[in-house]
Amino acid sequence: MKQQNIRHLNLNDLEAYFLSIGDKKFRAKQVYDWLWVKPVQSFDRMTNLSKDLREKLKQDFDFPALQVDTVQHSEDGTIKSRFVTVEGYKTEGVLIPTEDRKTACVSSQIGCSLSCKFCATGYLERKRNLNFDEIFDEVALINQQSLETFGTKLTNIVFMGMGEPLLNYKNVLKAIERITSPEALAMSPRRITVSTAGVAKQIKQLGDDQVKFKLALSLHAANDKKRHEIMPINDTNNIKSLIEALNYFYKQTKNEITFEYILFNNFNDSLPDADELIKVYRQVPADLINIIEYNPIEFAKFTKPSPEKVEAFMSHLEKNRVNARLRRSRGKDIDAACGQLANKG
């Protein structure tokens, strides 16, 4: 018989379990704290429980947690971790430190099904969704890294790693519920950003579900023809439908929306491209456009524009009173930058 995953039990379930085996009710709170508050990834780490009780839990429950497989350190302080699931699948997460922030960039799927032409993950096959407790593990393990390396907890989380978060909707929302719960990591949802390649129906669903986190749309081209070339998802979720969905999301939640826009040399980096981007920006109550440096990958034909072209593009946005920020990539030397995650050890 398949054992039940212990993290699928709530506190009441755990209390009932301990009473059923003739143990004290308070054990439930001890175990619950090990699962969610000072999260560990194995029964053996639950040091205030007797060895016998830990063995009993192993017999009665499954605990399929992510484990750290490899860790790489960048010259700029960025740390990339490759995690491994119980059945041996690999996924990646990144800790991005700055002076005032420690940000975890986490994955939501093993591989990805969207095949965006500029992204290394897009060239991997999607094996499966990550479960909510595995996503929680990514955050807990990166938080631990932050404490050990920088002496401070995570301040922010971005769902910008491998996979499309809105195609793993339930697990992502449940993971965020655990991450933000006062009875778990107690992080503020305002410090969490979910980035999507644009699934209009699910963006509206986020509005209906009254989520509290921020939303980022990976736009990368501001007309359908170009966006279709690099992001096949645009076939079923064109820019018009995304503008409508983002407006609906904002009306329901009033949460912050940002656009992500990677600059590709001689593709979307001209001043007419900037004008098209401004036009889209004006139709949504977006807070910001993140202009992102392209990080070349071996499979793709794209290159990054010259610093002069980037400067001209940014100046044009500024002149048109667009709130835009140039995001310098971190962790490029260890393939940890935006679009580079591909499970390389």
| CATH code for position 296 | 3.20.20.70
Q: Which candidate in 105, 112, 119, 338 is catalytic?
A: 338
Rounded to 10 degrees, the C-alpha dihedral 253/262/227/218 comes to -20
Radius of gyration, alpha carbons of the chain: 21
Which residue, 62, 78, 97, sits at the end of a domain? 62
The one-letter amino acid at 16 = A
Residue 330: the pLDDT is: 72
Q: Which candidate in 15, 92, 134, 164 is catalytic?
A: 92
Q: What is the CATH number of the domain that holds 25?
A: 1.10.150.530
> Is 332 in contact with 80 (CB distance < 8 Å)?
no
Within a domain: 345: no
Statement to judge: residues 256 and 168 lie in one domain: yes
Residue 285 to residues 57, 227, 255, Cα–Cα distance (Å): 50, 21, 10
Residue 327: the pLDDT is: 87
Residue 345: the pLDDT is: 45
Which residue, 62, 84, 102, sits at the end of a domain? 62
Statement to judge: residues 262 and 147 lie in one domain: yes
Closest CA to 29 of 39, 41, 15: 15
Taking the C-alpha atoms of residue 327 and residue 308, their distance in angstroms, rounded to an integer, is 16
Question: What single DSSP character describes residue 103?
Answer: E
As given in the structure block, the two tokens for residue 330 are 């971190």
Statement to judge: residues 242 and 290 lie in one domain: yes
Tell me if residue 66 falls in helix, strand or coil: coil
Within a domain: 340: no
| pLDDT tens, residue order, the chain (345 aa) | 678 999 999 999 999 999 999 999 999 999 999 999 999 999 999 999 999 999 999 999 999 999 999 999 999 899 999 999 999 999 999 999 999 999 999 999 998 888 888 887 777 888 999 999 999 999 999 999 999 999 999 999 999 999 999 999 999 999 999 999 999 999 999 999 999 999 999 999 999 999 999 999 999 999 999 999 999 999 999 999 999 999 999 999 999 999 999 999 999 999 999 999 999 999 999 999 999 988 877 777 889 999 999 999 999 999 999 999 998 777 666 665 555 555 554
Active site residue 55: no
- Alpha carbons within 13 angstroms on the beta-carbon side of residue 79 total 22
Residue 332: the pLDDT is: 67
Please give the span between the terminal C-alpha atoms of the chain, in angstroms, as a whole number: 36
If one counts every other C-beta atom within 10 angstroms of the C-beta of residue 25, the result is 11
Statement to judge: residues 232 and 308 lie in one domain: yes
Domain count, the chain: 2
Statement to judge: residues 112 and 255 lie in one domain: yes
> Is 114 in contact with 232 (CB distance < 8 Å)?
yes
Residue 335: the pLDDT is: 64
Statement to judge: residues 74 and 142 lie in one domain: yes
Active site residue 87: no
Question: What single DSSP character describes residue 296?
Answer: -
Which residue, 35, 62, 89, sits at the end of a domain? 62
Taking the C-alpha atoms of residue 269 and residue 261, their distance in angstroms, rounded to an integer, is 10
The whole domain housing 327 covers: 67-334
- Whether the full predicted model's pTM is greater than 0.85, yes or no, is yes
Taking the C-alpha atoms of residue 186 and residue 204, their distance in angstroms, rounded to an integer, is 26
Within a domain: 268: yes
Tell me if residue 171 falls in helix, strand or coil: helix
> Is 93 in contact with 76 (CB distance < 8 Å)?
no
β-strand 192-196 against 156-159: which pairing, if any?
parallel
